[in-house]
Amino acid sequence: MANVSERVVRRHPGLRHPAYIYRRRRIAALGILAFILLLVVFLAGACGPGPTQSLQGDQLGPDPEESAQEYQQRAAQTLEDARKETYALVTFNPAVDAATAAAAVEGAQRASALITQEDFVPIEIPEPIEGESREDVFHREVGTEKLNSVIIYDDAKALSEIAQGADVFAVEASPSDAAWGSFAIRPLMVNETGDN
């Protein structure tokens, strides 16, 4: 057998490669594999799932087994416990139009979101620009849809005053350390006549 390989080498002297060529090929192959591995890890991080929004356990709105009257009482208690400026869920029962909702929360420092009777999903809203009223913003965002709730930001005194409004069913204050987007919102499910 040794004679056969020697014959092949004698006939084709260019086929024999020095050992350092094989070493270079192995190093190049390992380098390419390392590059591919790093590329896969990078792409997995860059294209993988993004950061999730973590809820802190705070929620505004009635508990699942809570009646409307129980919720109204609990919401009133949160106003008594509120000490600083905080977010609050202003609930209407029955749902109201944009003009009525805007009038009910006109005294609030900020209106942050609207919840319509049809979707029950918070719609973030901007503050009115110069020459525009809060009612204009509400109409622009929801049109003629009925509003179930408005999320506002103010201090305990202002929230208590808003809670006295004729069209307001309940005002529930969030914990004072609640940040926008870090609490859940569960609106009161009411029908058009105000029954839940």
Considering the domain architecture, whether residues 106 and 9 belong to the same structural domain is answered as: no
Kindly tell me if the per-residue pLDDT of 35 is higher than 90: yes
What is the predicted pLDDT for the residue at 182?
A: 80
> Residue 121: CB partners within 8 Å, gap ≥ 6?
115
Q: What is the pTM assigned to this prediction?
A: 0.68
Domain that holds residue 19: 2-47
Instruction: Please check whether residues 18 and 69 belong to one and the same domain.
Output: no
Are residue 139 and residue 171 in the same domain, yes or no? yes
If pLDDT is split at 50, 70 and 90, which confidence band does 193 have? Answer: very low
At 58, list the tokens: 């705070």
User: What pLDDT, on a 0 to 100 scale, did the predictor assign at position 105?
Assistant: 93
Shared domain check, 42 and 127: no
Chain segment 158-186, per-residue pLDDT in tens: 999 999 988 999 999 988 888 888 888 88
Q: Is residue 81 part of a domain?
A: yes
Cβ atoms within 10 Å of 151's Cβ, excluding its own: 26
